């Protein structure tokens, strides 16, 4: 991979410049149409194809302090939400550049921190108006029927719309039919009725055509969401409350004076399509996994008496490179790979109930759990260390084998590593031992088979052994699923187990990691949408609203600047308050520039515009229209209602039933914004004195004295 190179001006803030340079390498990952990168390993000369921020940072040199902070922020986002890392990385770069510009204009650091923080908080509160409630997704589902599957769409998501192709349309069961005659009255500040988007169609009491899908019959719900942000600041540093807060302008009070109606989303297929962001193959597997969990819950609870909750911890993946992508599927139970040498054992054990033992740690002779205290003051004199170790492991392996035979155990699942010598002995005695098993898988088998997990094999007794587990080959012909490491895929299951495995296949080994990452991204999007019972209007609508709000806020702050200047001249003690008033329009403008770059890059990445300048001009045109309307949120929703509108997508189809809805998850998106800004402000505050000194804001030199290679 050709690494990015950027000139670093050491007379300006180096930390912010480094953040911008790191972020530049991942701009092609923004949006649904990602451009992949090949990463070459210099040592083994192997390559892997990546299309995610996390995998990119794993391949870059992040040994610097700034690199480590960036990696920590991205890893925290990924470990928690598994989505939003590309947005985080891009905004880190965009806002680092924005802060640099503020410093170059002489804006005090305290003002930058205060205004940008409050500006983002304000945006986070305003975008609540674009939330869509997600309720009762599983109430109308029949656990006995076959569920409709996701269809394939070509994606044009930047911003706002995802347009399907003419040949691959969503089936009638998915129900995005044209009900343009249905309208939603939205009360804005002026009290004028506003037609709703055809994307979010209410359950109006009109004569429904027999072909109208049930998906469209969504009821209206008053938006009672609390305007107070439930997200707190990042762990990086705390903000004080003694700074002047950004007041909401008059144009943003419609959420107080009026009730904004929003549409429900109460169909799993519709929700999955909207959250797939172009990756329909991965989301289809996720949807099938959810349906398997739902069906299992109905069987266990008796027609789902209790509300069903999607448990993402009970989903695991099994990657099988070398097979065609059409082989990818979802299976109830646990699919994993074992050595081909286990084939005779599996043939011997299949089609019969097995007794199972679960080992929490490693199954090796020298393993001791974390609480073990080694005996002290013991000296061992040996004439041959190697002979002693060999004989010790041999004795231990024989003892383990005796325990397994004593309790008639055929299957052992180990969370850690397994002794190779023990595996050989177990194969000879027709016993299957599988290592590196996920903890959630262990717990699932413990619950379903009645087994108790133990730390050592010596703790095994009759009460710890589970029953009723079955093992078989994943495919009828095991030789069809042998990978490059001579491993075969097998399936373990037992009655009532709450575990689903997504088997991921790809003929290109280098793409296997990317396929698994995308599956988990889709899974976590759907998980958080169901957990929070709300989603955002997607496709860039939320970012566009943030940009609109900040522009209006900056314009209104600019009108108050002259008054603040006169007050500052008469009262020098109010310097900070006066500085806030003077510089607020500038800081808000540069903060909004981050959203502008975000939307422009989305448009360029989807090949709708040849340059960012052209895309930015297009966005600026509609930004002005949104500002002139007096209610940006109403403007956004109104544009959805125009059948032939060219807003937000130049290729919008005249056939509205071909257009699926687009959604974004709420908390992961907002938290990605917050982490990005927190990181930028942290680097700004910690490095400003150390690297650039007190006078860095007055320096206007273009002297370039160094390079940063990524």
Residue 384: pLDDT over 50: no
Give the pLDDT band (50/70/90) at residue 662. confident
What value does the mean pLDDT take over residues 425-447?
96
Please name the residues in contact with 691: beta carbons below 8 A apart, sequence gap of 6 or more. 13, 14, 15
What integer pLDDT is reported at residue 169 of this predicted model?
Answer: 33
Q: pLDDT tens digits, residue range 608-660?
A: 778 888 888 889 888 888 888 888 888 887 776 554 344 454 444 444 455 67
Residue 588: pLDDT over 90: yes
What integer pLDDT is reported at residue 159 of this predicted model?
Answer: 38
Q: pLDDT tens digits, residue range 467-479?
A: 999 999 998 776 6
- Residue 644's nearest CA partner among 186, 262, 180 is 180
Give the pLDDT band (50/70/90) at residue 393. confident
What integer pLDDT is reported at residue 391 of this predicted model?
Answer: 77
Give the pLDDT band (50/70/90) at residue 173. very low
- Residue 709's nearest CA partner among 64, 218, 279 is 64
Residue 316: pLDDT over 90: yes
What integer pLDDT is reported at residue 563 of this predicted model?
Answer: 54
Give the pLDDT band (50/70/90) at residue 249. low
Q: pLDDT tens digits, residue range 697-708?
A: 433 333 333 433
8-12, 307-311, 660-664, 683-687: range with lowest mean pLDDT: 8-12
Q: What is the distance between the alpha carbons of residues 608 and 88, in angstroms, rounded to a whole number?
A: 23
What value does the mean pLDDT take over residues 354-361?
95
In what side-by-side order are the strands of the sheet with 663-664? 131-133, 534-537, 663-664
What value does the mean pLDDT take over residues 251-259?
39
Residue 252: pLDDT over 80: no
Q: What is the DSSP string of 365-414?
A: TT---TT-----S-----S-HHHHHHHHHHHHHHHHHHHHHHTT--EEEE
- Please identify which residue in the block is written with the tokens 């340079």: 21
Q: pLDDT tens digits, residue range 106-115?
A: 999 999 999 9
Q: pLDDT tens digits, residue range 667-679?
A: 999 999 999 999 9
What integer pLDDT is reported at residue 83 of this predicted model?
Answer: 95
Residue 381: pLDDT over 70: no
Q: pLDDT tens digits, residue range 74-122?
A: 999 999 999 999 999 999 999 999 999 999 999 999 999 999 999 999 9
What integer pLDDT is reported at residue 227 of this predicted model?
Answer: 30
Q: What is the distance between the alpha carbons of residues 228 and 239, in angstroms, rounded to a whole number?
A: 17
What is the chain's mean pLDDT, rounded?
76
Q: pLDDT tens digits, residue range 409-418?
A: 999 999 999 9
What integer pLDDT is reported at residue 449 of this predicted model?
Answer: 96
Give the pLDDT band (50/70/90) at residue 480. low
Q: What is the distance between the alpha carbons of residues 374 and 365, in angstroms, rounded to a whole number?
A: 14
Q: Using CA atoms in the order 42, 47, 51, 56, what is the torsion angle rounded to 10 degrees?
A: -20
Residue 233: pLDDT over 90: no
Contact (Cβ atoms closer than 8 angstroms) between residue 16 and residue 684? yes
Q: What is the distance between the alpha carbons of residues 54 and 89, in angstroms, rounded to a whole number?
A: 10
Residue 190: pLDDT over 70: no
Q: Phi-psi bin for 46: left (phi > 0), alpha (psi -120 to 50), beta? A: beta
What integer pLDDT is reported at residue 478 of this predicted model?
Answer: 61
DSSP tag of 485: T
What value does the mean pLDDT take over residues 171-176?
33
Other C-beta atoms lying within 10 Å of the C-beta of residue 193: 10
Contact (Cβ atoms closer than 8 angstroms) between residue 470 and residue 450? no
What integer pLDDT is reported at residue 178 of this predicted model?
Answer: 32
Residue 62: pLDDT over 50: yes
Give the CA distances from residue 610 to residues 87, 319, 442, 600, in Å, rounded to whole numbers and listed in that order.
21, 38, 52, 11
Residue 36: pLDDT over 60: yes
For 137, the token pair is 């997704």
Give the pLDDT band (50/70/90) at residue 237. very low
What integer pLDDT is reported at residue 557 of this predicted model?
Answer: 83
- If one compares 255 and 415, the residue with the highest pLDDT of the two is 415
Give the pLDDT band (50/70/90) at residue 593. very high
Please name the residues in contact with 88: beta carbons below 8 A apart, sequence gap of 6 or more. 53, 73, 74, 77, 672, 673, 675, 676
137-151, 268-282, 562-576: range with lowest mean pLDDT: 562-576
Please name the residues in contact with 331: beta carbons below 8 A apart, sequence gap of 6 or more. 474, 491, 500, 501, 503
Give the pLDDT band (50/70/90) at residue 375. low
């Amino acid at each position: 991979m050709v690494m990015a190179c950027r000139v670093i001006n050491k007379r300006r803030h180096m930390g912010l410049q480094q953040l911008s340079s790191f972020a530049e390498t991942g701009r092609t990952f923004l949006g649904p149409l990602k451009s992949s990168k090949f990463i070459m390993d210099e040592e083994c000369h192997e390559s892997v194809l990546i299309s995610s921020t996390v995998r990119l940072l794993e391949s870059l040199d992040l040994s610097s302090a700034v690199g480590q902070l960036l990696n920590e922020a991205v890893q925290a986002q990924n470990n928690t939400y598994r989505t939003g890392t590309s947005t985080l990385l891009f905004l880190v770069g965009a806002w680092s550049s924005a802060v640099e510009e503020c410093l170059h204009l002489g804006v005090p650091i305290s003002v930058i921190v205060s205004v940008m923080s409050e500006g983002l908080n304000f945006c986070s509160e305003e975008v609540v108006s674009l939330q869509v409630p997600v309720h009762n997704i599983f109430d109308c589902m029949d656990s006995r029927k076959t569920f409709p599957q996701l269809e394939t769409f070509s994606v044009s998501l930047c911003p706002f719309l995802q347009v399907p192709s003419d040949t691959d349309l969503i089936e009638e069961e998915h129900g995005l039919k044209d009900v343009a005659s249905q309208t939603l009255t939205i009360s804005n500040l002026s009290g004028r009725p506003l037609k709703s988007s055809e994307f979010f169609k209410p359950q109006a009491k009109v004569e429904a055509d027999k072909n109208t899908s049930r998906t469209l019959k969504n009821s209206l719900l008053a938006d009672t969401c609390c305007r107070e942000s439930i997200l707190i600041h990042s762990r990086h540093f705390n903000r004080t409350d003694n700074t002047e807060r950004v007041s909401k302008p008059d144009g943003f009070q419609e959420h107080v004076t009026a009730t904004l109606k929003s549409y429900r989303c109460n169909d799993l297929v519709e929700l999955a399509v909207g959250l797939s962001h172009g990756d329909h193959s991965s989301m289809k597997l996720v949807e099938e996994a959810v349906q398997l969990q739902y069906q299992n819950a109905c069987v266990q609870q008796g027609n789902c008496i209790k509300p069903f909750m999607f448990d993402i911890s009970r989903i695991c993946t099994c990657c099988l490179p070398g097979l065609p992508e059409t082989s990818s599927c979802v299976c109830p139970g646990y699919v994993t790979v074992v050595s081909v040498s286990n084939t005779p054992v599996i043939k011997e054990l299949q089609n019969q109930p097995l007794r199972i033992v679960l080992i929490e740690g490693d199954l090796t002779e020298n393993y001791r759990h974390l609480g073990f205290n080694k005996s002290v003051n013991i000296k061992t004199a040996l004439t041959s260390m190697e002979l002693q170790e060999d004989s010790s492991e041999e004795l231990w392996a024989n003892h383990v084998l005796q325990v397994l035979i004593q309790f008639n155990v055929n299957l052992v699942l180990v969370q850690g590593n397994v002794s190779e010598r023990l595996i050989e002995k177990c194969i000879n005695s027709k016993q299957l031992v599988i290592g590196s098993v996920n903890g959630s898988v262990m717990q699932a088998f413990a619950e379903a088979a009645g087994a108790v997990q133990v730390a050592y094999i010596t703790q095994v007794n009759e009460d710890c052994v589970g029953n009723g587990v079955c093992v078989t080959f994943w495919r009828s012909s095991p030789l069809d699923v042998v990978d490059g490491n001579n491993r075969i895929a097998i399936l373990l299951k037992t009655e009532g187990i709450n575990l689903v495995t997504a088997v991921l296949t790809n003929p290109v080994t280098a793409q296997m990691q990317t396929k698994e990452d995308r599956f988990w991204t889709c899974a976590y999007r759907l998980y958080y949408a169901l957990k929070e019972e709300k989603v955002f209007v997607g496709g860039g609508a939320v970012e566009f609203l943030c940009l609109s709000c900040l522009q209006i806020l900056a314009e209104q702050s600019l009108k108050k600047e002259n008054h603040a200047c006169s007050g500052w001249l008469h009262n020098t003690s109010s310097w900070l308050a006066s500085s806030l008033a003077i510089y607020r329009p500038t800081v808000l403008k540069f903060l909004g520039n981050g959203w502008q770059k975000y939307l422009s890059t989305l448009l360029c990445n989807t090949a709708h515009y040849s340059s960012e300048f052209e895309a930015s001009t297009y966005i600026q045109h509609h930004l002005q229209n949104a500002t002139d309307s007096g209610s940006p949120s109403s403007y956004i929703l109104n544009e959805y209602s125009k059948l032939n509108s060219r807003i937000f997508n130049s290729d919008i189809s005249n056939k509205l039933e071909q257009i699926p809805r687009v959604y974004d998850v709420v908390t992961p998106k907002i938290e990605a914004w917050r982490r990005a800004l927190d990181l930028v402000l942290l680097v700004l505050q910690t490095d400003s004195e150390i690297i650039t000194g007190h006078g860095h804001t007055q320096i206007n030199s273009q002297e370039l004295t160094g390079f940063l290679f990524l």
